[in-house]
Structure 1
Amino acid sequence: MSDEPSISGLLAAASARAVPVVRGVTDDRLGDPTPCAEYTVRELVGHLTHVVVGFQAYAAKGQADFSVTPDHVGEDPRWRERFAAEARKLAEAWAAPGAEEGTAGQLDLPARTLGHMALLDLLVHPWDLARATGQEYAPDPAVVDALVQVVERMAPMAREWKAFGDPAPVPDGATSFERLLATTGRDPRPDTV
């Protein structure tokens, strides 16, 4: 584990790319669809905020309730700033001694697995939001590198839980990030023929 990058550092790097995308979501786009068919832009911002809050609890070996996603956008007019603050707190929570050790959560999963799950959401959902709202998004290469094999390993279980769709075709010359997106069931180049 000592050769692997820290979850905290990766979360900070992913957050640095995610926060500008969330800040760039304009109110007139909140009802728009996203590549996550079950979420509008508003609902996806709410889900992502819920993840960064809930996984802070997991870092402290606590519990989080993901059965219902609060309307973070409707409840707080400063939702963009709140997301940025909570993303920062998430990285800080995973920097605490022992956060990456042992197990946590309702399913008693390895802590690093939970950290990777949060990291995946912070990597992929900003892409979803950027696609939905016409923004640019370039993921942090270190985050992509840290997750490529993890996502391959978790894909069968994630599909069983309906967290991933069926794998999408991988285009010729695909980047590591595009292959990762395809593994999650997203078309990494929906505008190409």
Structure 2
Amino acid sequence: MNEIHAHLTSSAAEAARVTRGVTPEQLAGPSGCTDWTVRELANHLVLYTAHGLEHRALRTQLPDDLVARDFTADADWPEQYAAQLDRALAAWA
């Protein structure tokens, strides 16, 4: 498990770094995923790599309010995402 946790930690740090580079102007633009905006892709990333990871560790369902939430609506969403990644990693520790 320690090796997996080390990989999760490294991946989480990189994901947080990448999201900090997304500007508000880019959110409405197209992403590398067909038919998804950067906002839609970012919300998917936040939901499943941070909240989903924590809920899997705790063996709980993702609440409907999280599934429907626009995480990028908050100006500091990259920092909130990084903090949620930390909580998810702690749940797996």
- Per chain length, whose mean CA-contact separation is higher, i.e. which structure has more relative contact order (CA < 8 Å, sep 6+)? 2
Distance 1:31 1:61 in 2: 34
Percent of residue pairs identical: 34
Please report the RMSD computed on the Cα atoms of aligned residues, expressed in angstroms. 2.1
Equivalent residue for 2:70?
A: 71
Residue 34 (1) aligns with residue 31 (2): yes
Equivalent residue for 1:49?
A: 46
How many aligned positions are there? 91
Q: What's the TM-score once normalised by structure 2's chain length?
A: 0.83
Equivalent residue for 2:58?
A: 60
SS in 1 for 2:3: coil
Q: Larger radius of gyration, structure 1 or 2?
A: 1
Deviations 1:64-101 (A, max 9, x none): 25794411111x22101101111111111111xxxxxx
In structure 1, the gaps of 5 or more residues are: 96-193
Distance 2:19 2:80 in 1: 10
Structure whose residues are more often helix by fraction: 2
In structure 2, the gaps of 5 or more residues are: none
